[in-house]
Structure 1
Amino acid sequence: MADHSAFLKFVHALGAAIDGPVTWWKEQVVDPHQKNYNWYHRKYRRVPTVDQCYTDDPVCIFEADMQFLRDKNVDSEIISILRGRYEQCVVYEGPDATKCASLWETYEQAAANWFCKYGDLGAHAKSYDAFMKQKHRLIWERRYGPVGTGMNPSNQEA
């Protein structure tokens, strides 16, 4: 038993000799001079939208397109999270899934809003395409009422 303990003491001493200076350097030199960043919450500054860009300013239009793609990805992830929460609620509640109705309504409203902005644009849509879709929807609503209610002849302009 004494030989075994002596061997373990040797192994621990060897480990401390190798690891000790490295640990000291990290704790005394590296950590105090290192800035702490929240890498998982990268914040981008908001850039001008495509309607605020000049037509001959490709850099501004590119930034607007990248902002549009970031917003689309964030909105898509929100939809995915809401759908996942609803599905987990249904699995957890089982036959009594009526308790999940508020989650379903929230998901449906978010999905409708997502489709209102990004739907039918295609896979490679740009911010200009979404802007034009919004413009056409607003013109439609001015002439015929809210989208989805049909063409109301009483609202049509002569």
Structure 2
Amino acid sequence: MPEPRSPMASFAQSVQNTIDGPITWFRETIVEPNQQKYNWYHQRFNRVPTIDQCYTDDAVCRFEADQQLRRDRMVDNEILNILRQRFEDCMLYEAPDHMVKCRPLMDTYEKATENWFIKYGDLGGYANAKTAYMKQKHRMIWERRHGPVGSGMKDEDKLGH
């Protein structure tokens, strides 16, 4: 630290050291040595129980499941953004035969978009883990009764009902 230039600056620095000194000491001697060091730049969260593993009256478990869904959705959004950016970069770089050379990237992006919509589509911005779980359950029931979504409905005559 530079030497204070006036008595007022010296007083301000001593007040600063009085307030900030114990905080800095605590962080440098206790907090930082006990922190886990990661080889990556983001924080790794442990997976929590999903909403179907929570009891109906366990508000903490439901909250954790909602937060896990939010994190998963943000990660899936970023994956889509990266895939879209790679496809767009490929199109710019490989023009004029970008439709041939970038086809694998486009197929990967379209499949990832389809999977994102299957999981999160039509949930809205305020979706929680319970609504996402119900959407998954309703889709499974639909596919059991009518076949994969988008393949048309099964004929009732062929089912023997």
Shift in CA distance, 105/58, structure 1 to aligned 2, threshold 3 Å: same
Are the counterparts in 2 of residues 143 and 156 from structure 1 also a CA contact under 8 Å?
no
Pairwise CA distance, 1:36: 7.1
Give 1:129's match in structure 2, choosing from 131, 154, 160.
131
Partner residue of 1:149? 151
Shift in CA distance, 88/124, structure 1 to aligned 2, threshold 3 Å: same
TM-score normalized by the length of structure 2: 0.74
User: What secondary structure, in the 3-state scheme, does the structure 2 residue paired with 1:88 have?
Assistant: helix
Q: Runs ≥4 in structure 1, deviation > 2 angstroms?
A: 33-39, 154-158
Are the counterparts in 2 of residues 50 and 128 from structure 1 also a CA contact under 8 Å?
yes
Letter in 2 for 1:37: K
RMSD over aligned Cα atoms? 1.8
Letter in 1 for 2:48: V
Partner residue of 1:25? none
Number of aligned residues: 127
CA distance in 1, matches of 2:135, 2:159: 20
Correspondence 1:106 to 2:111:
no
Q: Please, which runs of 5 or more residues in structure 1 have no aligned partner?
A: 1-29
Aligned-residue sequence identity (percent) comes to: 57
Partner residue of 1:81? 82
CA distance in 2, matches of 1:157, 1:64: 41
CA distance in 2, matches of 1:51, 1:36: 31
Q: Which has the larger radius of gyration?
A: 1
Partner residue of 2:17? none
